[in-house]
Each structure stands twice: as C-alpha cells, then as structure tokens.
Amino acid sequence: MKKIFFPICAIVCTCLLLVSCSPKIPFSQSVRDKYKLSETDLKAIQFYVSDAIVLKRGEDLNREKQTDNGELIIKSGKNIEQLVFKRNTACVINQVTDNNKFSVSFEDAANKFLVFGSEGDPNEYYSLKALDWNKGKGKITYGDQTYYSNPGSQKTFLLFKMKSLRKINVEEKVVKGKKVK
C-alpha cells in the first residue's frame, strides 16, 4: 500500500501545482470587453510590466573655478537620477483616466504613476504612454519630475494572470431496472 501511496501523492501534488500556476498574459481592450471589466474590477487585478523600464533625468552641477599653481581649474559635472522598473514588476491600476488609458502605480505615493493605454484597436496591448516619443525614448512625468525612458520602452505593456475555472454539475440517478411481471 505504501509503495502505491507515494507515487500517487507525487502525481496529485504535481497536478495541483500545474493547475495553480497561471501564466501571465498581455492585457488588451478585447480582454477588457470580453469580460466586461469595470474600473472596480481593474483595480482588483494584479498587473505586471512585460519588460524593464528605465527612467532617467539629469541635472548639471554648478561650475566651480579655482586656481592652483598658476592654472585655472574648472570643475563641472552632472547628477543623474535613474528609476528602474524591472521586468515583471507588480503594479496596480490607480485610476482609469479615459476608456483606453490607465494610471498605473508601482508605489504608494499618490503622484507617482505611469500611464498605459491602447489606441482603440481591440487586439492592441495596453502599452506605456509618454508625453512625447523621440527615437524610441519617451518623455514621461513620474511624481513631480520629468524623465526620459529607455529606447524601446514604448513596446512595454501590461500583463496579468488569469485562471479559468469550470464548474460542472452532474446529477446522477441509479436506475434499478425493470423485471418481467
């Protein structure tokens, strides 16, 4: 009995793990329409970004001058701030701004969000939106600052997990049969 129990237990555990792991799939307008997802529904779904997003902004430092041994020395530089959203970073919809755009939060600060949306094509994924795109880099406001995204970030879109559960009710009646009278 013990020899049979352990392999069966292993098979059942493996099946449960396979069933419980939901793949991440792209979010599109057709998914939203098919399941009639309201703003409340959307806010309850855990989303993820498909690819890394890197936002950068830089500030020039004040130039300093000094003299040393008869030479003029000029010091200058730049401070660069970089925000990295790794692939599969979890996020939530903060607000539906219009029918095709969402503000998506990655942290608790109220004004720190990115905008994702589609242009109306039902099969188009909800991708990163910017104030302006130039050579694949987007001008994006995050918090109270303006950043520039990494090249290719306009192709980053939202992912989510979905499970499909089926409920089947089976009514069973055992027929006793009929004998000759």
Q: For 3-53, what is each residue's pLDDT tens digit?
A: 554 444 444 444 433 444 689 999 999 999 999 999 999 999 999 999 999
Q: How many other β-carbons are positioned within 10 Å of the β-carbon of residue 95?
A: 14
Domain count within the chain: 1
Q: Is the pTM of this model over 0.75?
A: no
| Domain range enclosing 102 | 23-59+74-161
Residue 120 belongs to some domain of the structure? yes
Residue 53 belongs to some domain of the structure? yes
Residue 34 belongs to some domain of the structure? yes
What is the Cα–Cα distance from 51 to 132, expressed in whole angstroms?
20
What is the Cα–Cα distance from 140 to 53, expressed in whole angstroms?
11
Place of tokens 């919809």: 93
Residue 181 belongs to some domain of the structure? no
Residue 33 belongs to some domain of the structure? yes
CA nearest neighbour of 78 among 103, 106, 65, 59: 59
